[in-house]
């Protein structure tokens, strides 16, 4: 699939800090699905749609910023769960603001039903859309949504 001469078949999914512990960490909030299970599901759905899914997880803000910068000219869309950096990282926000591709912010839990400090997302103003509160299924929704946005 191409648009304006650009290949539209690669989507990057970035997972932020502590998401490597999904399935073990606070399953009452984040569910029992592991990060590997989420990534495998995304890759399977991506294959069905003819889209290559690359996943990346880091607990380090600088590594996430560098990965966002690497999307320029290489990916047709970005799905990001910045986890705790959602509420604190101007650096991640500024990196996302550089992008000219659809970006979907995702959260497993509904951040607006949690502690007040989680109600403010530093990145919402620079992303295309936000999905929150659907648990692991939210990633599939994000993939469906980003494919729709890319195909427009």
Catalytic residues: 30, 107
| Buried residues in 104-117 as b, exposed as e (16+ CB within 10 A) | bbbbbbebeeeeee
What crossing angle do the helices spanning 61-70 and 90-97 adopt, rounded to 10°? 0
Show the DSSP H helices in 22-136 as ranges: 27-30, 35-48, 61-70, 90-97
d(CA 149, CA 55) in angstroms, rounded, equals: 19
């Amino acid at each position: 699939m191409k648009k304006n001469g650009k290949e539209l078949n690669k989507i990057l999914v970035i997972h932020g800090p502590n998401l490597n512990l999904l399935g073990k960490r606070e399953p009452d909030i984040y569910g029992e699905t592991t990060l590997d299970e989420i990534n495998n599901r995304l890759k399977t759905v991506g294959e069905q749609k003819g889209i290559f899914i690359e996943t990346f997880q880091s607990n380090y803000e600088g590594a996430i910023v560098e990965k966002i910068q690497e999307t320029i000219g290489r990916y047709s869309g970005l799905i990001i769960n910045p986890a705790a950096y959602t509420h604190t990282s101007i650096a991640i926000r500024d990196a996302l603001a550089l992008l000219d591709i659809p970006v979907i912010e995702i959260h497993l839990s509904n951040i607006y039903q949690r502690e007040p400090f989680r109600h403010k997302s530093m990145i919402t103003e620079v992303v295309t859309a936000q999905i929150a509160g659907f648990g692991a299924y939210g990633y599939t929704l994000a993939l469906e949504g980003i494919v729709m946005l890319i195909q427009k």
